[in-house]
Amino acid sequence: MSRLRRSLGARLLIAQLLVVVVGSLTLLLVAATVGPWLFDQHLEGRLGGVPANVDAHIHAAFEDALGTALIGAIAAASATAVVISVILTRRIVAPVRRLADGATQIASGRYGIQIPVVGEDELASLARAFNGMATALAATEQTRTRLIADVAHELRTPLSTLDGYLEGLADGVIAPNPGTWTTLRDQTRRLSRLAEDLALVSRAEEGRLQVRPVATDAVRLIHAALQAARPAATSKGISLSATSRPERITVTADPERLQQVLGNLLDNAIQHTPAGGRIEVMASQTPDSVRVEVIDSGEGIPTAELERIFTRFHRVDPARTAVSRGSGIGLTVARALVTEHGGDITAASAGPGHGSRFTVTLPRCSDHT
């Protein structure tokens, strides 16, 4: 009984049979009460009375015909109910079962599954939506797995440097001099920067990045970013300059976040420009956007890498940058921040050895200009 109650097909059949039974009972009741009376009325009206023996024959024939018709009707209705139940069950229960099986598979971690979509009805739309959800889950899972692998990889380098230095210090092989402390501090800074950047990227990916755009003086912001980058540039013998056309540019942006973007771009430019090189920041505006370009005369970027460098942990030459403090996440952070402002960031380069140009475009809100 409980199995019957649990089966949609059985319940459907019971409901149909119930309709047939109620219909049949009503039919029988009407046939037994109103039917003979109507028949008598009709007979009386047409023939004005018949002899008793003929009347008995006519009544017997009427009851026979009525009985046969009723049995035939009930049998046909019951058979139709069974057939309809079977068809509906096939149409509804089978897709529902497939959905339930799919959901069970997803719950057990098999996100890649797809269930067959049959027809064009609501159940087919449900199956399509289910497949879309499974695909999205599979992509999220893949990103998560890759992120864990990437993070583990990024942690390994600074941790093994720290470990090696600490062991050397303990054994007395490495002298505890200022150079050693600087190396150790560099590695711990790299780790904390990685943690900060990862937190920022994951917040951006979850759409929880909070930017508070206000009317901001873009030129002042650029000068502040240049100021922060100057010591590193000077020590490498790189010249830094800024131009702005027009002289005053107002942009609707979160000043702290925008400065972080510029900081990342300048950091990269300094890192990838040899001594004696130049870095220039150019600000300009169109009626509906503000553009900030960071142009360097450095090593440049191969065309095939121009888009990939914005991907998490991607570095053009991992071997060369492994010794530097970069983790390959700076541009991912920059893009996440700019996108959150409704703008975009792109890279251009005439190729290796010909410098790079990073362009940040932000919408210009007319309310604030």
Ligand X SMILES: Nc1ncnc2c1ncn2[C@@H]1O[C@H](COP(=O)(O)OP(=O)(O)O)[C@@H](O)[C@H]1O
State which residue, 254 or 296, has the beta carbon closest to ligand X: 296
Per DSSP, 305 falls in state G
d(CA 97, CA 94): 5
Neighbours of 250 (CB within 10 A): 16
Q: Where do runs of H (alpha helix) occur along 208-279?
A: 218-236, 255-271
State which residue, 329 or 360, has the beta carbon closest to ligand X: 329
Q: Residue 277: which of Mg ion, ligand X, none does it interact with, CB under 5 to 8 A by kind?
A: none
Confirm if 238 and 275 have CB atoms less than 8 A apart: yes
268 part of the interface to Mg ion, by CB under 5 A: yes
CA–CA distances in Å: residue 6 to residues 60, 88, 123: 48, 16, 20
**In the complex, which residue's CB is closest to ligand X?**
326
User: Which of 194, 269, 295, 362: binder of ligand X (CB under 6 A)?
Assistant: 269
330 part of the interface to ligand X, by CB under 6 A: yes
State which residue, 68 or 143, has the beta carbon closest to ligand X: 143
d(CA 41, CA 65): 18
Q: Give the residue among 344, 334, 269 at the shortest CA–CA distance from 301.
A: 269
User: Which of 200, 331, 338, 362: binder of ligand X (CB under 6 A)?
Assistant: 331
d(CA 79, CA 87): 12
State which residue, 277 or 326, has the beta carbon closest to Mg ion: 326
User: Which of 209, 218, 283, 329: binder of ligand X (CB under 6 A)?
Assistant: 329
Stretch that binds Mg ion, among 104-112, 115-123, 323-331, 335-343 (CB under 5 A): 323-331
Per DSSP, 238 falls in state -
State which residue, 102 or 326, has the beta carbon closest to ligand X: 326
Least separation in angstroms between residue 326's CB and ligand X is 2
State which residue, 255 or 330, has the beta carbon closest to Mg ion: 330
Q: Residue 198: which of ligand X, Mg ion, none does it interact with, CB under 5 to 8 A by kind?
A: none
Residue 286, C-beta contacts closer than 8 angstroms, at least 6 positions apart: 364
**Length in residues, the chain:** 369
d(CA 63, CA 68): 9
Q: Residue 316: which of ligand X, Mg ion, none does it interact with, CB under 5 to 8 A by kind?
A: ligand X
User: Which of 316, 337, 345, 362: binder of ligand X (CB under 6 A)?
Assistant: 316
Bridge partners of 357, per DSSP, are 295, 348
Paired tokens of 39: 């028949």
Q: Residue 327: which of Mg ion, ligand X, none does it interact with, CB under 5 to 8 A by kind?
A: ligand X
204 part of the interface to ligand X, by CB under 6 A: no
272 part of the interface to ligand X, by CB under 6 A: yes
Q: Give the residue among 233, 221, 204, 228 at the shortest CA–CA distance from 292.
A: 221
Stretch that binds Mg ion, among 72-80, 113-121, 192-200, 263-271 (CB under 5 A): 263-271
321 part of the interface to ligand X, by CB under 6 A: yes
Confirm if 299 and 324 have CB atoms less than 8 A apart: no
Residues that bind ligand X (CB under 6 A): 264, 268-269, 272, 296, 298-299, 301, 309, 315-316, 321, 326-332, 356
